[in-house]
Amino acid sequence: MTNKRKLITFDWAIKLLLRSKANFGILEGFLTELLKEDITILDVLESESNKDYKLDKFNRVDLKVRNSKQEVIIIEIQYDREYDYLQRIFYGVSKAAIEHMAENQSYAGITKVISINILYFDLGSGTDYIYKGTTRFIGLHNHDLLELNDKQKQLFQKDSIEALYPEYYLIKINRFNDIAKDTLDEWIYFLKNEEIKETFTAKGLKEAQEKLSIMKLPEDEQKAYEHYKDDLHYQASMFESSFGDGYHEGESAGIEKGIEQATKTIALKLMQQGTAIETIAAVTGLSFTTLKHLQHSEK
C-alpha cells in the first residue's frame, strides 16, 4: 500500500529542511544507501569562493556537507537539460577541493570530494539510471592496476589510489522504472514520485515520511512550496518548447545551429520576465556581449 500523504520534493527539503542538524538523519540515510557505508554528517558547508568569482553564486550546488571522515559531499539536483553538465560537475568538485585546502598544506591533505547529482533529464547515452565515476590508472602494456605502496597507505589512510580522487554519482531519475529491487531503489522511488511505500525499509525513509509531509508545514510555507512546484513546471515547459523550436530549425540548418537558436530563445524569454542578465548568462552559457546584442535587437 502506498503512503497517501504527499511529501515535499527532495530539492525543496535540501534548500529549507535538511540543513538543520535535527534532520541530518534523513540525508545520512540516503547517503548511506548510495555509498554503501555508514555516513555521519558533521556540518553543512558554505562556499567561500563566491566572493572571488562574480558568477559563481549562480552555479552553487544545492548542498555541501562534511562527513565524519572529513570528506566533502556535494549534492546537486538538476531539472533542466545542460549539455555541458559533465564539465560543470568537474568544475564544482575542483573548486570544492581547493577551497577546503588550508594554506601551506601539503598535497597529501587535499580533501576527498564526492559529487552526487540527482538529474531529472537524460544526460548522455546509457541505459542505466545510476552511474559512478572514479579515477584509476591502468598499465598500457601489462594492463595492471596501479596501487598505493605501504608507506602511501599509511600516509593517506586509504587502501587504493581510486579512494584519493573524487567520486561522481549520476542518478538519472527519469530512467528509473518504479520497481524498487533494493533499499537504494526505494530512495530513488521517493526522489521520483515524492511518496514512500509502507513496505520500504531503507535507512532514513521512515524519518523522511514523518518530517517531509507537506501537511506538517505552516500554511504560508505550504503556499510557497506550491508556488515553487508551479514554477518548476513552467520552466520545464518553457525549455522544452524552446528546444523543440530550435531543434526543428536545426533539421534544415544543422543540429548545432538549432541548439544555438533554442538557447537564444530561452535567453530572450528570460529577459522578457525581467531575469537579471548575470543569471541568464549563467543558465544559458551565452556571453554578456551576445546577451546585450539580443537585448538591443528586441528593442
Q: Kindly list the domain boundaries of the chain, sorted by start residue.
A: 10-216, 219-298
- What is the pTM (predicted TM-score) of this model? 0.70
Q: Is the pLDDT of residue 185 over 80?
A: yes
Confidence of residue 213 (pLDDT cuts 50, 70, 90): confident
Per the CB < 8 A criterion, the answer to whether 117 and 62 are in contact is: no
The percent of residues in the chain predicted with pLDDT above 70, rounded, is 76
Q: Residue 133's CB: how many other CB atoms inside 10 A?
A: 14
d(CA 149, CA 204): 38
* Arithmetic mean of pLDDT, 37-45: 92
Cell of 285: 552559457
Per the CB < 8 A criterion, the answer to whether 151 and 168 are in contact is: no
Name which of 92, 65, 75 is nearest 10 in CA terms.
75
Output the average pLDDT for the chain.
80
* Arithmetic mean of pLDDT, 85-97: 90
Confidence of residue 99 (pLDDT cuts 50, 70, 90): confident
d(CA 189, CA 291): 40
What is the per-residue pLDDT across 219-269, written as a single tens digit (0 to 9) for each? 666 666 666 666 555 555 655 555 555 545 555 455 566 667 777 877 787
**Which are the contacts of 99, defined by CB distance < 8 A and separation ≥ 6?**
47, 48, 49
**Which are the contacts of 21, defined by CB distance < 8 A and separation ≥ 6?**
none
**Which are the contacts of 173, defined by CB distance < 8 A and separation ≥ 6?**
118, 119, 120, 129, 188, 191, 192
* Arithmetic mean of pLDDT, 213-223: 63
User: Where do runs of H (alpha helix) occur along the chain?
Assistant: 10-16, 24-35, 85-99, 150-156, 183-193, 205-211, 219-253, 255-272, 277-284, 288-298
pLDDT for position 237? 60
d(CA 184, CA 37): 12
Name which of 54-58, 61-65, 183-187, 251-255 the model is least confident about: 54-58
* Arithmetic mean of pLDDT, 24-50: 85
CA dihedral 281, 282, 284, 285 (to 10 degrees): 80
Confidence of residue 159 (pLDDT cuts 50, 70, 90): very high
pLDDT for position 182? 97
d(CA 32, CA 205): 12
With vertex at residue 106, the alpha carbon angle to CA 103 and CA 112, rounded to the nearest 5 degrees, is: 90
With vertex at residue 96, the alpha carbon angle to CA 95 and CA 102, rounded to the nearest 5 degrees, is: 100
Per the CB < 8 A criterion, the answer to whether 183 and 197 are in contact is: no
pLDDT for position 24? 92
d(CA 145, CA 72): 26
Q: Is the pLDDT of residue 273 over 90?
A: no
d(CA 214, CA 211): 9
**25 Rama sector, left if φ>0, alpha if ψ -120 to 50, beta otherwise:** alpha
Instruction: Specify the 3-state DSSP secondary structure of 60.
Output: coil
Name which of 118, 116, 30 is nearest 71 in CA terms.
116
- Please tell me which of 21-25, 67-71, 141-145, 239-243 the model is most confident about, judged by mean pLDDT: 141-145
pLDDT for position 65? 92
Q: Is the pLDDT of residue 87 over 80?
A: yes
